[in-house]
């Protein structure tokens, strides 16, 4: 695995972004890493707090390290949308390389206070911090676009390594229909000069993701469409004639679909053949 600080700073300097895929089981995790490996790309495995609890932080870290070594590509391991100190510390101790602190529903002063408390506990560990400012909405919750002054203040106060803004992206969309606010993205890029993370990218128009790579975006999160792959693949495969019913074959189809989709993401985000930039760090 590779330090997330290294992944982000190298992507930032070299103008590419890395797909960060939410996984919920070993087959999805393997599929993501093998897909990146086919195009020699770095990749990020991430888990939500409930997924990290169900999976087990240590098991997730073991699998990420195992498949990073097996496929010989740089892999980061990230805890997504985290606010529970116990889960964060478990993941940090297990070897996760970054965490997103999500206190976005709090007032700015409270976000800063809570972030500092967690970061003090993580001091001395090689774990990068992703901060959210503004509210990245979903079908069920409101969206508040990032205020650039608030973003500047937050970054200055907590010293995060990457920022997740709300720039038109929306969580959980079932079609690629969200458009990014490029004026805001451009302003954040030029004012803050640090790696930007795009959430909700399953629902963002692909052309917008391609353009965002030129504006400081280095980590692009995908969850919803991978969930759909999981559901669709299993539903379609399980009704095939019984000769294909062996679990390893059914899950093999899932791994292949996940792998293909990840390869496609690497092409869109221009991180193919960038793995060797990190070889000196590979463990
Ligand atoms: Zn998110």
> What's the pLDDT at 232?
96
> What's the pLDDT at 4?
97
> What's the pLDDT at 118?
97
Domains of the chain, CATH where assigned? 4-281 (3.20.20.70)
To the nearest 10°, report the CA torsion of 162, 9, 28, 283.
-130
CA of 218 to the centre of ligand 1 (A): 15
How far CA 184 is from CA of 105, 189, 233, in Å, comes to: 21, 9, 37
Sequential pLDDT tens for the chain (283 residues): 999 999 999 999 999 999 999 999 999 999 999 999 999 999 999 999 999 999 999 999 999 999 999 999 999 999 999 999 999 999 999 999 999 999 988 999 999 999 999 999 999 999 999 999 999 988 888 889 999 999 999 999 999 999 999 999 999 998 999 999 999 999 999 999 999 999 999 999 999 999 999 999 999 999 999 999 999 999 999 888 777 678 898 999 999 999 999 999 999 999 999 999 996 544 4
Instruction: Please give the Cα distance from 179 to 136 (Å, whole number).
Output: 13
> What's the pLDDT at 283?
47
CA of 242 to the centre of ligand 1 (A): 38
> What's the pLDDT at 72?
96
CA of 280 to the centre of ligand 1 (A): 30
CA of 120 to the centre of ligand 1 (A): 24
Stated length of the chain: 283
CA of 279 to the centre of ligand 1 (A): 29
Residue-wise over 4-29: b if at least 16 C-beta within 10 A, else e?
Answer: bbbbbbbbbeeebbbbbbbbbbbbbb
CA of 200 to the centre of ligand 1 (A): 6
Instruction: Please give the Cα distance from 76 to 64 (Å, whole number).
Output: 8
CA of 244 to the centre of ligand 1 (A): 35
> What's the pLDDT at 265?
98
> What's the pLDDT at 140?
83
CA of 243 to the centre of ligand 1 (A): 39
């Amino acid at each position: 695995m590779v330090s997330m600080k290294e992944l982000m700073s190298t992507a930032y300097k070299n103008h590419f972004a890395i797909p960060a895929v939410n996984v919920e089981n070993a087959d999805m995790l393997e599929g993501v890493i093998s897909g990146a490996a086919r195009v020699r790309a770095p990749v990020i495995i991430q888990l939500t707090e409930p997924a990290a609890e169900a999976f087990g932080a240590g098991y997730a870290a073991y699998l990420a390290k195992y498949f990073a070594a097996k496929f010989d590509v740089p892999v980061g391991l990230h805890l997504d949308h985290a606010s529970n100190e116990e889960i964060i510390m478990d993941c940090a101790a297990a070897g996760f390389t970054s965490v997103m602190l999500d206190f976005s529903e709090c007032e700015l002063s409270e976000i800063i206070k809570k972030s500092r408390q967690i970061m003090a506990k993580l001091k001395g560990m090689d774990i990068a911090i992703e901060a959210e400012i503004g509210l990245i909405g979903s079908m069920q919750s409101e969206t508040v676009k990032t205020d650039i002054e608030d973003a500047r203040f937050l970054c200055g106060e907590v010293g995060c390594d990457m920022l997740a803004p709300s720039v038109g992206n929306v969580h959980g969309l079932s079609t690629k229909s969200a458009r990014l606010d490029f004026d805001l993205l451009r302003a954040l890029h030029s004012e803050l000069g640090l790696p930007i993370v795009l959430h909700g990218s399953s629902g963002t128009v692909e052309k917008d993701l391609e353009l965002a790579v030129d504006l400081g975006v280095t980590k692009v999160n995908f969850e919803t469409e991978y969930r759909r792959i999981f559901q669709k693949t299993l539903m379609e495969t399980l009704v095939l004639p019984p000769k294909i019913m062996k679990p390893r074959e059914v899950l093999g189809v899932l791994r292949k679909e996940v792998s293909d989709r990840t390869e496609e993401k690497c092409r869109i985000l221009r991180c193919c053949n960038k793995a060797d930039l990190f070889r000196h760090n590979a463990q």
